[in-house]
Amino acid sequence: MGGFRSFGGYPGTPQRVATLPRSLDLPEAGQGGWLAVGCGSSYGDVCLNGGGQVLRTTRLDRFIAFDRERGILRAEAGVTLADVLDLVVPRGWMLPVVPGTRQVTLGGAVANDVHGKNHHVRGSFGCHVRELVLLRSDGARIACGPAHGTEWFQATVGGLGLTGLVSEVELQLMPLAGPLIEGEEFRFERLDALWDAMREAESRYEYVVAWIDCLARGARLGRGILSSGRHAAGAAPPARASGIGIPFTPPFSLVQAALVRAYNGWRWHRAAPGTREVRSGLDPFLFPLDGIANWNRMYGRRGFLQHQCVVPDAGQARRIVEHVAQARAGSMLAVVKAMGADHASLGMLSFPRPGVTVAIDFPFHGARTLALLDALDRVVLDAGGALYPAKDARMSAAMFRHSFPAWRAFERYRDPAIQSEFWQRVTTD
Amino acid sequence: MSRRIERALVLGANSAVAEALCRRLAADGAQLTLVARDEAQLRRSAEDLRVRGARAVAVVVLDVLDEARLVAELDHALAADPPFDLCLVAHGSLPDEPACAHDPARMREALRVNGEATLVAMARIALAMERARHGTLAVIGSVAGDRGRAGNATYGAAKAAVAAYASGLRQRLAPLGVRVLTVKPGFIDTPMTAHIAGKGPLWATPDRVARDIFAAVVGGRRVLYTPWFWAWIMRVLRALPERVFERLRI
């Protein structure tokens, strides 16, 4: 019903969808339990519950309080980051952590303990949450935060929505210098030239992230563009709604190897050699993909998978990129970022940890794609890394348990009425 | 002609369309008086609108079926000076048609909520706007009021009464510079229609409808079909002879 799909469109299991009413009456557990879901921007099955039902939190979309002097915002969990930014940015505040899209609810940002291009200076989303309200299916209402109800807080941040319904979130915002981003782009010829430049950029910039051409091989392996930026004052550039979008899902993927190769080459060559200064508005810099509505549809009905891992060091990240280049797989989106060590994630199941994260999209071509991703998993596993559950739809139970050893202790906090396809997949043998 | 909306009174403020409109007004710093039945939800919405930028938000908790209170509270609120720029009557319910067909009490309640109480509220607002010679009275009617259908004849009958009454008020108030806007939405995806499965391309979001209402008030329109294509659909449906219409299964 309703045709609810996760962002990647895989697995496309049918979902029974209901909207959670504002009265917050939770349904009976019933068969298969329920799962609260915000925008459904998670790529895989952490936001699916085909065995039971999915509860949209779209109606929990009210602000509760905003202290404009101290930058403290409290809101219902279905409020999106887009709503928050529209409210706080003109008033001189900024969300301290944003993922690559504005189409995420506060509840979803907490449940996946999302990170952004400034992880090296701000840590993950959970580091900025002052308080959460958690409603349990037994009727308990638990207010928790980093200094009170800590156990529940640590279980719920990064807890994939499994510990109860997150109904309210209170955040500490950060002061905003202005509506502009000033920064630079540095084109690098090969992956090995990235690491020093990235470390250097991190010492000077709030946001640092690299795009790589994941199809380039040999001496050009991992060539790409490093983008850095910081907030700056100035006249806000005119908001431009592109109006570009993909109106429907084509039967086959538009992302074909030859096109990807051409696009990646064009993008890399278009950037001038060396370093160039850039200025832009907030949205095009932080949320470039939001500029094309429903871009995920270009992968066709079979959808796509993203493989996002974090591994302790650059050499291991290079092995991932090598593997993908050799397989001649991957697509336009391939991102590398160093994860900072200064702000430990607070959640028991949080993904962000020190090291290097690599995220690559793959059109879904059945067993061939799954086998490649399994091979990448082995590299990650050997390196002592982890995969990001919010992006995952297929990692093995063993892979998950190895990289999230707290999962067994976490089970104590899971609400017995809640279930997700992801959790079933990685916890049942 | 462009009208500013600095002060607004909204009846049925907990409805999805009314709330979406209030958010637009709040973002512009408007002063809002909200009337609704569910006090807990109304107070939370009021807080939300304050955060979003409303200069002031007052709440009035009442059930529109309590006619004495409806009139007293409206008159009290409408005595405000300066007067309201916009009064929106947006309360309503979607009655169960088969239940209304069998149970006169259910039918009466449906007609009172969607018809009688709406007309009474409009009458009080009209008196105040007549005195002030200022403002826009907007009422949420429905395309269902344009032509009765088997599936929602009772609802349609009440909304037809609303449209006829609005037309009368428009004639009476026009010479004073007071506008009356009849809003005729098609299908809107709201909690009131949450039980209806298989929503197709004709369904609109509350925000879309609110955006249209806002533009219609500012632009001084008289009748608004929203989204716009309903004007054409209803033009066709109204033109059909009864002997053809009776055979349609819509």
- Give the pLDDT confidence score for residue A240 in this predicted structure: 61
Cross-chain residue pair A19–B197, CB shorter than 8 Å: no
Which residues are within 8 A (CB) of B147 and not within 5 positions of it... i.e. 6 or more apart? Answer: B156, B234, B237, B238, B245
- Give dist(CA B232, CA B225) in Å, integer: 9
- Give the pLDDT confidence score for residue A291 in this predicted structure: 84
Residue B211: both structure tokens together: 């955006």
Q: B248 by DSSP, 3-state: which?
A: coil
B191 Cβ under 8 Å from any chain A Cβ = yes
Cross-chain residue pair B51–A87, CB shorter than 8 Å: yes
- Give the pLDDT confidence score for residue A241 in this predicted structure: 62
Does an H or E element contain B56, and which? Answer: strand B56-61
| pLDDT at B42 > cutoff 90 | yes
Distance, CA of B150 to chain centre = 23
Residue A63 has its nearest CB partner, among B41, B51, B191, at: B51
| pLDDT at A369 > cutoff 70 | yes
Q: Could you give the residue ranges of the DSSP H alpha helices within A112-164?
A: 119-122, 150-156
Residue B57 CB coordination number (10 Å):
22
**B61 to each of A91, A211, B40, B87, B239, how far by Cα in Å?**
32, 55, 10, 16, 42
Q: A54 by DSSP, 3-state: which?
A: strand
Cross-chain residue pair A64–B197, CB shorter than 8 Å: no
Write a three-state SS string for B163-231: HHHHHHHHHHHHHHCCEEEEEEECCECCHHHCCCCCCCCCCECHHHHHHHHHHHHHCCCCEEEECCHHH
- Give the pLDDT confidence score for residue A250 in this predicted structure: 87
Contact residues, A window 149-208, toward B, CB-based 8 Å cutoff: none
A219 Cβ under 8 Å from any chain B Cβ = no
**A152 to each of A29, A137, A156, A162, A412, how far by Cα in Å?**
21, 15, 6, 11, 10
| pLDDT at B209 > cutoff 60 | yes
Of A84-93, A96-105, A192-201, B197-206, give the lowest mean pLDDT range: B197-206
Radius of gyration of chain B (CA): 18
- Give the pLDDT confidence score for residue A1 in this predicted structure: 39
Enumerate the residues of chain B whose CB falls inside 8 A of the CB of residue A63: 47-48, 51-52
- The percentage of residues in chain A with a pLDDT greater than 70, rounded to a whole number, is 98
Spatial CA neighbour of A375 closest among A425, A304, A427, A326: A326
Cross-chain residue pair A22–B41, CB shorter than 8 Å: yes
Residue A52: both structure tokens together: 């039971």
- Give the pLDDT confidence score for residue A28 in this predicted structure: 86
Indicate the pairing of strand B7-11 with strand A386-387: unpaired
Enumerate the residues of chain A whose CB falls inside 8 A of the CB of residue B51: 63-66, 87
B196 Cβ under 8 Å from any chain A Cβ = no
Interface predicted TM-score (ipTM): 0.91
Give the tens place of pLDDT for each residue, A329-358: 888 899 999 999 989 999 999 999 999 999
Nearest chain A residue (CA) to B44: A64
Cβ proximity of A196 and A159 under 8 Å: no
- Give the pLDDT confidence score for residue A193 in this predicted structure: 95
- Give dist(CA B225, CA B207) in Å, integer: 15
Residue B78: pLDDT band by 50, 70, 90 thresholds?
Answer: very high
- Give the pLDDT confidence score for residue A242 in this predicted structure: 64
- Give the pLDDT confidence score for residue A429 in this predicted structure: 79
- Beta-bridged to residue A227, according to DSSP, are A185, A209
Q: Which residue has the higher pLDDT, A37 or B4?
A: A37
Cross-chain residue pair B51–A22, CB shorter than 8 Å: no
As a whole number of Å, the end-to-end CA separation of chain A is 29
Q: A429 by DSSP, 3-state: which?
A: coil
Residue B65: both structure tokens together: 């079926």
Mean pLDDT value across chain A: 94
Strands of A114-223 (E only): list them: 129-135, 141-144, 165-172, 174-175, 180-188, 207-212
Cβ proximity of A397 and A426 under 8 Å: yes
Cross-chain residue pair A19–B44, CB shorter than 8 Å: no
B194 Cβ under 8 Å from any chain A Cβ = yes
Residue B117: pLDDT band by 50, 70, 90 thresholds?
Answer: very high
- Give dist(CA B158, CA B139) in Å, integer: 13
- Give the pLDDT confidence score for residue A312 in this predicted structure: 96
Cβ proximity of A143 and A149 under 8 Å: yes
Residues comprising chain B, all counted: 250
Cβ proximity of A118 and A206 under 8 Å: yes
Cross-chain residue pair B191–A59, CB shorter than 8 Å: yes
What letters, b where the CB count within 10 A reaches 16 and e where it falls short, cover A4-31?
bbbbbbbbbeebbbebbebeeebeeeee
Contact residues, A window 4-23, toward B, CB-based 8 Å cutoff: 19, 21-23
Cβ proximity of A382 and A132 under 8 Å: no
As a whole number of Å, the end-to-end CA separation of chain B is 38
Cβ proximity of A168 and A64 under 8 Å: yes
Spatial CA neighbour of A107 closest among A79, A143, A66: A79
- Give dist(CA A391, CA A304) in Å, integer: 11
What letters, b where the CB count within 10 A reaches 16 and e where it falls short, cover A130-145?
ebbbbbbbeeeebebb
Cβ proximity of A145 and A129 under 8 Å: yes
Cross-chain residue pair A63–B191, CB shorter than 8 Å: no
Give the tens place of pLDDT for each residue, A14-33: 999 999 999 999 998 788 99
Cβ proximity of A105 and A38 under 8 Å: yes
Cross-chain residue pair A59–B52, CB shorter than 8 Å: no
Cα torsion angle, A395, A397, A401, A406, sign: positive
What letters, b where the CB count within 10 A reaches 16 and e where it falls short, cover A316-338?
bbbbbbebbbebebbbbbbbbbb
- Give the pLDDT confidence score for residue A62 in this predicted structure: 98
Cα torsion angle, A285, A291, A297, A298, sign: negative
B134 Cβ under 8 Å from any chain A Cβ = no
Residue A178: pLDDT band by 50, 70, 90 thresholds?
Answer: very high
Residue B2: pLDDT band by 50, 70, 90 thresholds?
Answer: low
| pLDDT at B1 > cutoff 70 | no
- The percentage of residues in chain A with a pLDDT greater than 90, rounded to a whole number, is 84
Indicate the pairing of strand B31-36 with strand A180-188: unpaired
Nearest chain A residue (CA) to B52: A87
Enumerate the residues of chain B whose CB falls inside 8 A of the CB of residue A22: 41, 44, 191
Enumerate the residues of chain B whose CB falls inside 8 A of the CB of residue A65: 47, 51
Give the tens place of pLDDT for each residue, A96-118: 999 999 999 999 999 999 999 99
Residue B205: pLDDT band by 50, 70, 90 thresholds?
Answer: very high
B29 Cβ under 8 Å from any chain A Cβ = no
